Amino acid sequence: MKANSKYLIAFLYISYFIALVLYSLINFDQALIGDEIRYQWFADNLAKGTYTDSTLNLWNGPAYPLLLFLLGLVGSSKVLAVTLNIFFLIFTLKNLLFCSKLLQIPQYRPILALCWILYFPLYTFVPLMLTEIFAVYLMSSVIVQFSLFKHSNQNKHIILAGVVLGVLVLTKIIFAYVLLVCLMCFLIVRIFVKSIPVKPILSAAVLAFVITIPYLMYTQSVTGKMFYYGNSGGLSLYWMSTPYDDELGDWHSRNYNRHLSKKISYQNTLKNHEGFFQALDSLNFVERDNSLRKQAIDNIINHPTKYGKNIVFNFSRFLFDAPKSSYLENGGILLYSLNPIVLLTFIMSIIVCMVNGIKKARWIHIEIHIICLVYIFISLLVSTYARMFLVTTPVALFSLQLLIHQIKLGVSTSTNS
């Protein structure tokens, strides 16, 4: 039986690899599009010995551009980045299946592997030079290190988890704020409920921030601001806070010449915001981000009900990539139709872990879920899309494993009694 399972897992790995390669070959485009242009721009800047220029564009963290810079030393950044995406997903699956061994449910590995392989939204980002697949791999690595710590109680795994979390922060700067919120929450828990072992997760979070110190020193040197990770948040919050009834809080580029909406005209969107944006044209990215944040906060204070409605729409976009006020909804709902099931698995696992964690000291599992939950909460406050949901998928598959593990324990307990 074990031999058959081993062959089945090997077959699934090979099939997954072939599927990823074929999808990449069919959909690969050598030309850079969208966010790929920005990542390559940052990578080119690193090759020149800097990261930004006089505009103070710090739209994203340096981890992925640094990776592209290193790939560029070998050959074509995009070709190698897509190749890496394939292996990132293969090793993500390996990480998550390794967790099933630690949870003593290896017999479920084929089912778990199929659940991961059949989650199609991940495929769509494989032929692209974007951070999504890299972030998914990093999240799976964090889960593995925390699980190994739970299994062995060796501090080296907390150190490795902290390092990977630091890289994740420098890849997706939203995680800087996620970890900051988690750090404050875990500190409060540590002060008032000393029986809960939050020291490991606190140590990992602190180390993650230490990893980012060189980047923070750089951003302070060019902006004069402390704890400055980037300046993309203001625009996301601005669009999310839009007070106009015919807009839904989704993010827009100022380039409105593509995918004009059936619901709202290009002219109306331009009229609503162009005057404000024209006033920002002479500002650098830091000044522009400050102005956008201030305007967004004013919008939220003056139109709290509309902001609440936008959050509801945002939650739908987070799961289904719809509705969007100025882009055509072309298949997003169908593509991301499994996301509610993924989220439900995550929520059920939180409940089970909370109930059993108190009795069986599985707090490290609860804390992994809390990090993911805080990420979802913060994501909903700014304009987001379903691609932002992808980084939670390793946690969701780990949640499924925890559910299976807890059910197995419950059946074993009932049998023994």
Lowest-confidence segment of 117-126, 164-173, 305-314, 332-341 by average pLDDT = 332-341
Quote the pTM value.
0.93
> What are the extents of the domains in the chain?
2-229+338-416, 233-333
For residue 94, is pLDDT > 80?
yes
pLDDT above 70 as % of the chain: 89
> How do residues 388-397 score in pLDDT, each as one tens digit?
999 999 999 9
Lowest-confidence segment of 98-102, 160-164, 250-254 by average pLDDT = 250-254
Packed helices 77-102 and 132-152: angle between N→C axes, nearest 10 degrees: 30
pLDDT attached to residue 257: 38
Alpha helices in 63-211 (DSSP H): 63-72, 77-102, 109-117, 132-152, 155-171, 174-192, 199-211
Residue 355: partners with Cβ closer than 8 Å, 6 or more residues away: none
For residue 280, is pLDDT > 70?
yes
pLDDT attached to residue 132: 97
Are 146 and 364 in contact, with CB atoms under 8 Å apart?
A: yes
pLDDT attached to residue 77: 83
pLDDT attached to residue 340: 81
Which letter, b or e, does each residue of 137-164 get, where b requires 16 or more Cβ atoms within 10 Å of its Cβ? bbbbbbbbbbbbbbeeeeeebbebbbbb
Q: Give the DSSP letter of residue 100.
A: H
Packed helices 155-171 and 199-211: angle between N→C axes, nearest 10 degrees: 50
Distance CA 219, CA 213 (A): 10
For residue 260, is pLDDT > 50?
no
Distance CA 83, CA 89 (A): 10
pLDDT attached to residue 361: 47
Burial of 315 (0-12, 13-18, 19+ CB in 10 A): middle
Lowest-confidence segment of 165-179, 204-218, 320-334, 368-382 by average pLDDT = 320-334
Distance CA 383, CA 235 (A): 9
Joined together, the tokens standing for residue 337 give 């139709």
Residue 113: band (very low, low, confident or very high) from pLDDT cuts 50, 70, 90: very high
Residue 58: partners with Cβ closer than 8 Å, 6 or more residues away: 51, 52, 219, 222, 223, 228, 229, 230, 231, 285, 286
